[in-house]
Every structure is written in structure tokens, then in C-alpha cells.
Amino acid sequence: MSITTFIIVSVIKSVAVIFVLLTAVAYSVWLERKVTGHIQNRWGPTRVGPFGLLQPLADGAKFILKEDLTPPHVYRPLYLTAPIIAVTFAITSIAVIPFGNWVDVGGIKTPLQIAPDLNIGLLVVLGITSMGVYGIALAGWSSNSKYSLLGALRASAQMVSYEISLGLSLIGVLIMAGSFSLREIVNAQGGTFLGFIPRWNVFHGQTLAFFIYLISAFAETNRTPFDLPEAESELVAGYHTEYSAMKFAMFFMAEYANMVTVACLATLLFLGGWHGPIFGPPILQMILPVFWFCVKVFFFIFLYIWVRWTLPRFRYDQLMAFGWKILLPLAILNLVVTALIVAW
């Protein structure tokens, strides 16, 4: 494939994926409001379009037209760049996430992944999510307000603590697949065992790692029950108290984009990625893996919302104790047992 073809194909893929990601972020807000409403025995948004489906458009218009207020005593350079940092790192990690197999469109073969398969794909995602802490920490500090500072300190400490058990839980998957490359990890989960159970990592030995990953990911994205950094009843709004309109919208988008990234990673590493029943004509066979991938990602986003409105919030010392004293030893135990079993 010549260099110009490669660039054009990559640009098309990037545009398509970013468009789908941002739409997914907007509609996961809609999903959250609807599911929240039904859990709380009320309708969610219903007025703007059928089933409230145009509500994200109305929200977008609101964010753009709202008064963008910059409080007088903030540290302006960081106040203005913190939302940019947050949203940039939240959206960047989708570049290494594969959605399906190689497709062949008119003689051009290309993988369904923006960056060609890196052999350290998993580490890249971990690196980008660990850089996302800066957006929150700098936002809280530069806002020059006690609620923001406390929220930012809590968020940074929480995210750094749970990053450890997140990484350790992923190493079990890594040992079983033998590679950091996301595509190879998914390919190692093909086929079935015991006749009909698919060889996804969640069934095939990494169940404990799956739950540790899920809990750590909830803490990383600052979602309930770990949402103390932005708890309304405690901290007004935590690190994004002093932000309004578009800058707040960027933090909002960053949070939901992080949720989508975590859901994508969970499906790739534990739920077999795009593996699922494939049938039909070749055009359908190209699209079905992507469809199964989206179904699994949707399940995780729904799980996020479901957990949010079911569980009460952790107190901060409970949160830190849980991360260091329970999750970390369990993750190390999982790693040791996996390594022993694979080595023999």
C-alpha cells in the first residue's frame, strides 16, 4: 500500500472513529438520563424528539450558548488548559483500540484500528489514562477554591492508587495471551472450551482479574461508588465547580469518553473483543464483528450506569483502604496464581 493511500485510509478511519466516539459520548449521557429515570421510577427526557433522543442536541446547544464565566482569582493559564488536557487524553486512547478484523474494501486491506497494531498497545492505553490525572489535578488547583482543591486532591490520590491494581489485574490477561498487542490478546480468546463456552478470558481463568479490573476502572473514571471527587452533597461539584459552559462540557465529555475507553478495553481483554457468531454474506461478515464489539461495549456502559444508581458512595478512607489493602493483594494473588498455572 503506498504512503498516500495509507494516509488517506488512516484519515478516513480517524474521522469515522472520532465521530462515532463523540456521538457515543453524547448518547451515553442520554442513556444515563433514561436509565437513571427508569431506575428511579420516572421517565427520563421524553420531550425533545421521540424518546428524548434529540436531548443531546439540546444539551450541546445549551453548552455552546451558555455564558462562559472565568472567575477573577483563578490561575488563568492552567484554568484554561486543564479541560483541554482532560479531553485530549480521554479521546486519544481510542487510537489503539481495534474494533474488528482486517477488512478488504475494493482491494485495500486495512485493520479496523486507527494505529496499525502496536506490539505495546496495552501499555499505550495505560499510559494515556495515567496522564489523564493531570487534567483533574490542574483544574482543581487552578480554580483557587476550597471545594475544587479538595476534589482535585482526592481525585489524584484515588486515581493513582487504583491505577496500580488496574495494571496488575491486566497482567494476568497478558500472561495468558503472551503479548501486549491488543489484537493478539483478542485473537487468543477465539474458539471455545468444554464444547460450547467461548474462550473469553472472563470464563477461561481471569474471572477474579475481571472483577478487580472493573472495580479499579470505576475508581479510575471517578464514577460511583468512587465519585467522591465530584460528589454533589460533599463538594458542590469537586474539581469542576468553577467551570461553566463549554469548559464544563469538556470535563463532562472527558468523563464519558473515559467510560467508553474502559468499556472498550474490558471487552477486548475479558469478553473476547469482536468474537461472536458470524454468518451470512461477506459484507455482513465484515460488519458483524464490529456489531458484537458494540453490543459488549454497550453492556459495560449500561453496567456503569446501573451501578451508579444502585450503590452508595464510599467514604474516602474506606476508598483508599479498599484500594490498597484489598484490591492490591488480590491483584497480586491473581498474578501469582496465573503465572504458576501458565508456567506449568
Partner 1 sequence: MLHLALFLFFGTICVAGAINLLVQRHPINSALSLVVVMASLAAEYLLLGAEFVAAVQVIVYAGAIMVLFVFVIMLLNAGEEERTQGSRVAILLGIPGVVIGTVLVAWVLLHRSSTGLVSIGGLRGDPKSIAGLLFKDFLLPFEVTSILILIAIMGAVVLASRPGAVARRHGEPTATETRELVSAGKER
126 or 331: CB nearest partner 1: 126
CB of 38 to partner 1, least distance (A): 38
Tell me 74's DSSP state.
S
CB of 318 to partner 1, least distance (A): 20
Name the site residues for partner 1 (rule: CB under 8 A).
75, 77-78, 118-120, 123-124, 126-128, 130-131, 133-134, 137-138, 140-141, 149, 152-153, 156-157, 160, 163, 167, 180
128 or 209: CB nearest partner 1: 128
Q: How far is 214 from 259, CA to CA, in rounded Å?
A: 11
Cross-strand partners of 103: 110
CB of 184 to partner 1, least distance (A): 12
CB of 100 to partner 1, least distance (A): 24
CA-based radius of gyration for the chain: 21
CB of 180 to partner 1, least distance (A): 6
Q: How far is 218 from 166, CA to CA, in rounded Å?
A: 10
29 or 133: CB nearest partner 1: 133
Q: Are 140 and 79 in contact (CB under 8 A)?
A: no
CB of 130 to partner 1, least distance (A): 3
At residue 112, φ and ψ (nearest 5 deg) are -85, 70
Closest CA to 83 of 248, 258, 229: 248
Quote the cell numbers at residue 236. Answer: 458542590
Angle at 158 between CA 156 and CA 163, to 5 degrees: 95
24 or 138: CB nearest partner 1: 138
CB of 325 to partner 1, least distance (A): 14
Helices 133-142 and 245-270, axial angle in degrees (round to 10): 160
152 or 231: CB nearest partner 1: 152
129 or 189: CB nearest partner 1: 129
Closest CA to 198 of 208, 188, 212: 188
> 141: phi > 0 → left, psi -120 to 50 → alpha, else beta; which?
alpha
Quote the cell numbers at residue 288. Answer: 458483524
28 or 181: CB nearest partner 1: 181
